[in-house]
Structure 1
Amino acid sequence: MSTEMKMEKKSVSEWVRSGDPWVWLNAGAVAISVIMVVGLLLLIAVRGLSHFWPADVVQSTYSLPGETPYTVTAERVESVDVTSAQLREAGINLPDEGDKLLQRTLLKMGNRDVYGADFGWVIDQYISDSQTPEMLFTAERHEWGNLYGYVKSVKENGQVVSETQDITPTDSALATWAAFEKSIERATEIHHEIKEIEKADIGKINYALERIRLEQRRLELNDDLTPEAEADLAAERAIYDAEYKGLQQQLAALYQQINRDTFTVQVMDGTVHEMQVSKIVHAFRPNAMGVVEKMGFYFVKVWDFLSGEPREANTEGGVFPAIFGTVMMVLLMTVLVTPFGVVAAVYLREYATQGLITRIIRIAVNNLAGVPSIVYGVFGLGFFIYFLGSGIDQAFFPEALPSPTFGTGGLMWASITLALLTVPVVIVATEEGLSRIPRNVREGSLALGATKAETLWRVVLPMASPAIMTGVILAVARAAGEVAPLMLVGVVKLAPTLPLDGNYPFIHLDQKFMHLGFHIYDVGFQSPNVEAARPLVYATALLLVMVIALLNFSAVTIRNHLREKYKSLEM
C-alpha cells in the first residue's frame, strides 16, 4: 500500500473518530425535517386559502365527438393528465386514435338544484369559445351550493322592479344588477334580525321555560308541589308564554318581509329560474372585479369562514363553533391537568419515600403516556359518563330523567378525559424541573426558619414553574389535536348552540360541542360532496395548526417570563 493511500485512510479514520460525520448527519436530518414541515404547511395553506379567492367564471362550448355541443359555465378547479384508453374504459365516447395523453379538467359548475351535481370533468381538447362575460355572476347560497348565471329580473311582491335581456354590461343590465345587490343587502339584514331573535331571545325564553318545567317536576318528586307553588310557576310560565307569542309575531312579520323579493336567473343551458333573494349569502361578478376588489372580497370570505357557522353538511360556511369548542376544551383541560399533575409530581419528588413502590409508580406514569388515546376515550365513556354521570343525574338532576344531564357526552367529560390523557406529560416535566433545583436553595430556606411547605410553595415551585409550563405546552399540543377519544365523550358534527352563553350558569359543562379535529374528519370522510369539501379540509387543518401554535405561543411566552424572573435564584 502506498504512503499516500495510508495517509488518506488515516485522515478518513481520524475524521470519523472526530464525530464530524454524525454532526453532518444530524444537521442533514434536521434540515430535511424542517423542509418537510414547511412544505406540508405551504401545501395546506395554498390548497386551503386559495379556496376563498373569487375565481373567474368561464363560459365555454363543450362538444364531445358524436354528441350535441352544449354551453358550460363553471370555475376551473384542477387539471390532470389521462390517457384516451382510460377515458374510453370510463364510458366516454372517444375516437380510437391510439393511447394518447389528454388533459382533463375538473369544473365547478354549481347549480346543484338544477343539474343534480355541481362538479364535472371535461376534456380540454373538446373545449372551445371560452369567454369570461362581465355580467356572469357567482352566488353563494344557504343551501344547494353555488349558483352561476345571469340576472334577468328582480321582483318585489311579484312586481318587477328591474329587468334586462342583456348579458353584456349595458345600462339595463347594470341597473338590474344594482337592484339585485340592494335586495341581497336588505335580505341579509333581516336574516340577522331573525337569527338574533331565534337564537338569543327565543333561546333565552326556552331555557327559562325548561327551568320552570324541571322545577315543577322536582317539586312533584319531593311531594312539595302545593297549589301556591303551582300557581307561582304557572304565573311565571304565562309571562314567558306572552313574550314568546310576541316574538313569534315579530318572526312571522320578518319572514314575510324576507320572502318578499325574488329574482330570475338564466343558467348555462339557457333556462330561466325564479328564486328567492333570501337564499343568497353573497353575490358577486368575479369577471368584472379587479385585483384590489378581489383581495377585499377575499378577506371578507376568510372572515366569514372564521366567524360563521357551518352549513350544507359542513361543506360550506364557517367554523367558529369548532374554533370556540376547541379553545374552550383545551383551556378547561389545562385548568384540570396542571394542578393535578403538579401535586402528583411534588409528592413523588418531595414527600414520597424513594423506594420500590415509587419506582413502580414512575414506570406506570411513563407507560400511561404511551397508551393509545382511544383507550382513554373508552375509559371516559364507561367511567365518567355511564358511572359518574349517571350517578350525578340520579343524585342532583332526578327531575330531568330519563333525559340525561351529565350521563351523556359533554364538555366536562371531554376535558377530564384529555386531562387524564396528558397528565403523565405534566408529571414527568414537573419532576424534571424539581430535580434541577439546587439542594442548597432548599437548605438555605429551611435555615432561615421556613417550614418545608413554605419552602416548597415560595421557593421550589416558583423556580420549577418554567418546567411546569413546558409540561403544559406539551399537554396542550397533544390534547388540541386529539380526535378519537372525543368522538366517544362529547364532540358532535354540529352543535346548535355554544357551551358559553348568557343563560345561568353561563358555562354549560354538560353540553356537547364541536372540535376542529373532528370537523376535519367529518368534512373529509363523511361529506356527501367530496369535491366541495376538499378545500375546506385543508383550510380547517391550517386553522387547527394555527390555533395550536397560538396556544403554545401563549404558554411559551409565560414560561420565558417565569424563567427570566427566577433566573437569579438559580445562580
Structure 2
Amino acid sequence: MKQWFKSGAPWIWLNGGAVALSMIMVFGLIGLIAVRGFGHFWPSDVAYIEINEPQADAPQVLIGELVRSQVIPAAVARDSGEQVPESVDLVTRHLLKLGNRDQTGQDFSWFLQLYMEPWEYPENIYVIERREWGNFYGQPVALLENGDVVATAEQADFFDQVQTRIERSLSIYDDIEDLEGGEISDINRTLERLRLDERGLAIREVPEEVASAERDRIAAERESLNNSYGVIRQELDALYDSTRRDTLRMRISDGREVDITLGTIVRVTAPNAMSGFDKPLQYVERLWEFMTDEPREANTEGGIFPAIFGTVTMVFVMSIIVTPFGILAAIYLREYAKQGLMTRIIRISVYNLAGVPSIVYGVFGLGFFVYFLGGSIDEMFYETSLPTPTFGTPGLFWASLTLALLTLPIVIVSTEEGLSRIPSTIRQGSLALGATKSETLWKVIVPLATPAMMTGLILAIARAAGEVAPLMLVGVVKLAPSLPVDGEFPFIHLDRKIMHLGFHIYDVGFQSPNVEAARPLVYATAMVLVMLIVILNLTAISIRNRLREKYRSASD
C-alpha cells in the first residue's frame, strides 16, 4: 500500500475522478436545462377531465395539458380549502395548463387527483396559439365567414378548412408587416428627417431667402409624403379588415361557445390526433419559430431572435474594440515600458480591475460613456435632435464599450503571458540577423504570441456574452423595436438599444406576470445562450489552433 501511495497512482486516480465528476455535473446540468427548456415545444396531449366532488351539484370539466404532479400531505390540501377525507394522509395534485386566460382569468391551476375520473384524450380538442392571451383550449363547433357558418365540426375536412383559412390570415399579416416595416417606416424616417431639417433652419443663422425656399421644399415634400401615407393607410386598413373576416367558434370546458377571429391566431393544432410523424415535425416547427420569431405577451410567448441577434452583434463590436487596445497595452507593458515601480503598479492595477464587480463598470459606463461622451456628441453633431438624445442615451455602442472595458484586463494579462513565454533566443537570433527591434517584435514575436492573444479573446467573449448587470444600465432593454443592423444607411446603428439573452432570461424569470408560462422559456433561453457561447468559443479556438500550427511549422 505504501509503495502504491509513493508511486503517485492514487493522486492520478483522484484527479481523474475529479475531472470525471466535473464533466458529469456539467453535462448533467446542460441536459437538465435542455430537457426542461426544449421539451416545452413538444406538442403534448390535451386531457379531458371530469372532477366529481361530493358536495358539488354537477361534475367540473377541465381541458388542459399536464405540467407536473406532486404528492403533498392531506393537511396542506385541507389548509388550502380542499375537501379531503380525514382518513387520507397523502394526496396527489396536478398542475394543469388550462389556457383561456381571457375567459376564466387563470392560465394554470392545481387540482387534486382524489375526485378525478379517468382522463380522456379526445381527438377533437384543439390547441390554439394566439397573438395575445396565450393558448386557447376547446372543442370546435363551426367555422364562420362574415358571421355565416361555412363549415361545422362534424365535417371530415373541417380541420383542413381551418388550416387553409389560417394560412390566408397569416399571409395577410405578412403583407401588413411588409407595409409597416417597409413603406410606412420609410415615410416616418423621411418625415423625421424633414422635421430635423426644419428645426435646423431655426437654430442656424440662414439667410431669409434661402430659409424660405428650404421651408417651401420641406412643406411640399411633407405634403407628398402625407398623401402617400394616406393611400398606404387605406390599403393597411383594408388588410386589417380582411383578417377579421373568418371566425372559429369553439366550445370551452364550462360549455360556453366562444368566437375567435382567425386574425388573432398563430397556429391551430389537434395534438391528440397527431401521428408519431406529425409530432416531431410540429416540434421542429415550433422550435424554429422560437429561434427566429420576435417575442410576444411580455416575452412569455413567441421567439427570441432579437435577443440572439443583439447578443451576437454586441459581442462582435466588443471584440473589435477590446482586441487592439488590449494587445497594444500588453505589448507596451512587456516590450517597451521600463520595468520598474510604475510598471509593477500598472500591472497590479490591471489585475485588480479583473476583480471589480461588473455593475461598477455599468455605473461608470452610464456616467462617462452615455451622459458625458454621448451628451457631448449630441451637442456637437445632433443639435437639431435635442432634447431627444441620439448618443446621449444607452445603446449598442456604449454597451459594447462598457464590456470592452470590463474584459480589457483579461486580454492584457493573456497577451502579456504569451509574450513572456517566447524564448529570448528567438529575439536574440532575429536581432543578430540584422532585424531592428520593431521588425523583431511585429514580424517574429507578435505572430508567435497570436495563440495567446486568441486565448484572451476567447475568455473575453465567454465573460462578455454572459454579463447582465452592466448591460441593464448601458443599452439592453426588455423589447427593442428594431434590430441594430438593417438595410437603412449606415446599416449598423450603434445608437440603437438592443435585446440580450442574459437580460431576457432575467426578465422572463423574475419580471414575468405569468410565472408558470415563463418557466420553460427561461430554460430554453438559457440553453440557447450556452450554445451560443460554445459556438463563439469553438470558432475562436479553431482559429487559435490554426494559428498555433501555422507559426509552429514556420518556427520549425
Say if 2:141 is the partner of 1:152.
yes
Deviation of 1:122 (Å) = 1.2
What is the alpha-carbon distance in structure 1 between the residues aligned to residue 319 and residue 353 of structure 2? 18
- SS of 1:566's partner is helix
Cα 1:215–1:447 change in 2 (3 A) is: farther
Map of 1:133-212 to 2, 5 A cutoff?
133-164=122-153, 166=154, 172=155, 174-212=156-194
Percent identity for Structure 1 against Structure 2: 56
Mean Cα deviation higher: 245-254 or 488-497:
245-254
User: Alignment partner for residue 421 of structure 2, among 413, 424, 436?
Assistant: 436
Amino acid across the alignment from 1:207: R
Deviation of 1:504 (Å) = 1.6
Deviation of 1:275 (Å) = 1.6
- Residue of structure 2 equivalent to 1:123: 112
What CA deviation, in whole Å up to 9, does each residue of 1:477-517 have, x standing for no partner?
Answer: 00000000000111000111111112122111111110000
- Residue of structure 1 equivalent to 2:299: 314
Say if 2:326 is the partner of 1:341.
yes
What is the alpha-carbon distance in structure 2 between the residues aligned to residue 215 and residue 22 of structure 1? 75
- Residue of structure 2 equivalent to 1:4: none
What is the alpha-carbon distance in structure 1 between the residues aligned to residue 139 and residue 234 of structure 2? 36
Mean Cα deviation higher: 542-551 or 496-505:
496-505
User: Alignment partner for residue 61 of structure 1, among 29, 42, 50?
Assistant: 50
- Residue of structure 2 equivalent to 1:460: 445
Deviation of 1:29 (Å) = 1.8
- SS of 1:226's partner is helix
Map of 1:11-22 to 2, 5 A cutoff?
11-12=1-2, 14-22=3-11
- Residue of structure 2 equivalent to 1:3: none
User: Alignment partner for residue 37 of structure 2, among 22, 38, 48?
Assistant: 48
CA RMSD of aligned residues (A): 1.4
Q: How many residues align?
A: 552
- SS of 2:117's partner is strand
Say if 2:51 is the partner of 1:74.
no
Amino acid across the alignment from 1:35: I
User: Alignment partner for residue 252 of structure 2, among 267, 275, 287?
Assistant: 267
Say if 2:92 is the partner of 1:85.
no
What CA deviation, in whole Å up to 9, does each residue of 1:28-82 have, x standing for no partner?
Answer: 2222111111110000000011100000111010123323421111111111110
What CA deviation, in whole Å up to 9, does each residue of 1:246-275 have, x standing for no partner?
Answer: 221210111111111112111111110112
- Residue of structure 2 equivalent to 1:169: none
What is the alpha-carbon distance in structure 1 between the residues aligned to residue 401 and residue 436 of structure 2? 34
What is the alpha-carbon distance in structure 1 between the residues aligned to residue 335 and residue 224 of structure 2? 60
Deviation of 1:410 (Å) = 0.4
Amino acid across the alignment from 2:468: V
Native 8 Å contact 1:65 1:95 kept in 2? no
- Residue of structure 1 equivalent to 2:376: 391
TM-score by length of 2: 0.97
- Residue of structure 2 equivalent to 1:533: 518
Deviation of 1:452 (Å) = 2.2
User: Alignment partner for residue 27 of structure 2, among 1, 23, 38?
Assistant: 38
What is the alpha-carbon distance in structure 2 between the residues aligned to residue 127 and residue 458 of structure 1? 78
Structure 1 unaligned regions, length at least 5: 1-10, 167-171
- Residue of structure 2 equivalent to 1:6: none
- Residue of structure 2 equivalent to 1:523: 508
Amino acid across the alignment from 1:117: Q
- SS of 2:408's partner is helix
What is the alpha-carbon distance in structure 2 between the residues aligned to residue 247 and residue 324 of structure 1? 30
Say if 2:527 is the partner of 1:542.
yes
Structure 2 unaligned regions, length at least 5: none
- SS of 1:128's partner is coil
What is the alpha-carbon distance in structure 1 between the residues aligned to residue 159 and residue 4 of structure 2? 76
Amino acid across the alignment from 2:72: V
- SS of 1:130's partner is coil
User: Alignment partner for residue 454 of structure 2, among 459, 465, 469?
Assistant: 469
- SS of 2:119's partner is strand
Map of 1:393-408 to 2, 5 A cutoff?
393-408=378-393
- SS of 2:82's partner is coil
What is the alpha-carbon distance in structure 2 between the residues aligned to residue 544 and residue 382 of structure 1? 29
- Residue of structure 2 equivalent to 1:238: 223
What CA deviation, in whole Å up to 9, does each residue of 1:364-412 have, x standing for no partner?
Answer: 1011111110010011011111111111111111111111111111000
- Residue of structure 1 equivalent to 2:497: 512
- Residue of structure 1 equivalent to 2:101: 112
Native 8 Å contact 1:65 1:94 kept in 2? no
What is the alpha-carbon distance in structure 2 between the residues aligned to residue 490 and residue 369 of structure 1? 22
What is the alpha-carbon distance in structure 1 between the residues aligned to residue 197 and residue 53 of structure 2? 70
- Residue of structure 1 equivalent to 2:311: 326
Native 8 Å contact 1:79 1:106 kept in 2? yes
What is the alpha-carbon distance in structure 2 between the residues aligned to residue 145 and residue 452 of structure 1? 67
Mean Cα deviation higher: 469-478 or 429-438:
429-438
Deviation of 1:17 (Å) = 4.1
Cα 1:234–1:440 change in 2 (3 A) is: farther
What is the alpha-carbon distance in structure 1 between the residues aligned to residue 347 and residue 9 of structure 2? 37
Deviation of 1:240 (Å) = 2.6
Amino acid across the alignment from 2:132: E
Native 8 Å contact 1:438 1:570 kept in 2? no
Amino acid across the alignment from 1:223: E
What CA deviation, in whole Å up to 9, does each residue of 1:421-466 have, x standing for no partner?
Answer: 0010000110111112222322333334333222222222111111
